[in-house]
Amino acid sequence: MGHTFAEKVLARKAGLDSVVPGQIVTVRPDKLLTHDNTSAIAGQFRKIGVSKMADPDMSVIVLDHVTPAASETYAASHQATRQFVAEQGISAFYDIGEGICHQVLPEKGHAWPGAVIVGSDSHTPTYGAFGAFSAGIGRTEAAAVMATGQIWLRVPESLRIIVNGTLPDRVSAKDVILHVIGDLRADGADYRSVEFAGETVRNMSIASRMVLTNMAAEMGAKNAVVEPDEKTWAWLNRNQVFRKKPGFSPTYYEEVHADPDATYERVIEYDVSGLVPQVARPHTVDNVVPIAEVVGTPINQALVGTCTNGRLEDLAAAAEILRGKHIAPSVRLLVLPASREVLLAAIERGFVSDLVAAGATLLNPGCGPCLGAHEGCMAPGEVTISTANRNFKGRMGSKEAFIYLASPATVAASALSGVITDPREV
């Protein structure tokens, strides 16, 4: 009998011939991600009572959530993280300005096909776009992984989501995943491993595949994965990262593919050839409607960026719509590239000047206002349309504010007119 991706990768990692859903396995992860919460995790780590991490090379730390520090409190937290990094001898540390952890890990060679990655962030499933098994964990768990080098994982049941059809113009991966979440709901994949397959996914760029795996968290997925292929290899080696930094990553990896006769809890098929732009209305990510139902809603702020849609193709999609034009006077457009690498490429291609000339406020690579701590929080009654992954009440400042989620093209088109706008009509 065949096995799913999750079953195969966890069996291999646990040193077992095979595993079944529901089984608890103990594994040694390849990588452990922590971010601004590292200072708090270091506190939990000390409570366990060991002085040195089991494996400092397992740890990857990225300061991205509130960067640069917004206040003395945040500054002290960042300082504590830097001290912990020095004390533990952690080499994979990326200070403010490098970018969002979910972009930086793959860029720096810390995510690869078949790897098992755990991270103290709910969007850790993003690395599944590279064929890795990656799942979010809590702070205390991250501390325990630091101390013991191990974690228990429940082998998840699997869903296979097959997407076929050619996406229409100005309809992108974001519209696909919003449509899927609207269909399967916020708990549609709770505790499940989600495998994305089909010709649409095959034809997607790595950046677009990352949108799918990133947002799988919003339907409760433990992990999400796209089978690695030649695109994966080309992306991972685009800067010869693997060869340049042999200490950080294996120069060789073994891909893990689901068996054709694997057993799935559900197989769900979508044909996206007729898909229209999708929007998630406040205050839940599964509150998804076709754009026609919200067209004309006035907005105060538009945001292009975050770990969901802050990559080069996203900035390109926004620049294409805004080039040579100017955003509505009533709108604040915030643009946050996902990483330094993305920012440099966007400068080189002229996207940054296109967007800034069109009225955008350029923010530093990082999480920005997505979690409501700084750089663009909303006042009561205000409305933001964002390319981010969450629109929960109070998420971006006031709990009386409203967040709509959409693709970069939809956000750019809306910034142009000041109301939610179908990007196919600009």
> Does residue 366 interact with another protein by CB under 8 A?
no
Q: Among residue numbers 175 through 204, which ones bind another protein (CB under 8 A)?
A: 186-187, 190-191
**Tokens read off for 363:** 């923010």
Coil, helix or strand for 292?
helix
Site string for another protein, 2-41 (x = CB under 8 A): ----------------------x-----------xx--x-
Distance of CA 414 to the CA centre of its chain: 23
Mask for 267-286, x = binds another protein (CB under 8 A)? -----------------x-x
Q: Which stretch binds another protein (CB under 8 A): 1-9, 93-101, 136-144, 327-335?
A: 136-144
In whole angstroms, how close is the CB of 49 to another protein at the nearest point?
5
> Min. distance of Cβ 22 from another protein in angstroms?
8
Alpha helices in 3-100 (DSSP H): 5-14, 38-48, 72-88
Q: Least distance in Å: CB of 289 to another protein? A: 17
Nearer residue to another protein within complex by CB, 100 or 144: 144
Instruction: Decide: 144 and 54 in contact? Cβ < 8 Å.
Output: no
Give the one residue of 16, 87, 152, 234 binding another protein; rule: CB under 8 A: 152
C-beta separation of 37 from 295 below 8 A: no
Give me the DSSP letters along 310-379. -SHHHHHHHHHHHTT----TT-EEEEE-SBHHHHHHHHHTTHHHHHHHTTEEE--SS-GGGGSSSSSPBP
Backbone angles phi, psi at 271, to 5 degrees: -110, 115
Nearest distance from residue 36's CB to another protein, in Å? Answer: 5
CA nearest 210: which of 175, 181, 241, 174? Answer: 174
Q: How many residues bind another protein (CB under 8 A)?
A: 51
User: Is residue 328 a contact residue for another protein (CB under 8 A)?
Assistant: no
Residue given tokens 């113009």 in the structure block: 169
- In the complex, minimum distance from the CB of residue 59 to another protein, in angstroms, rounded to a whole number: 16
> Would you say 10 and 22 are in contact if contact means Cβ atoms under 8 Å apart?
no
- Neighbouring residues of 379: CB distance < 8 A, sequence distance ≥ 6: 397, 398, 401
**148 binds another protein per the rule CB under 8 A:** yes
Residues that bind another protein (CB under 8 A): 24, 36-37, 40, 43-44, 47-50, 65-66, 71, 73-74, 77, 120-122, 124, 136-141, 143-144, 147-148, 152, 154, 186-187, 190-191, 220, 222, 284, 286, 371-373, 377, 390, 392-395, 397, 399
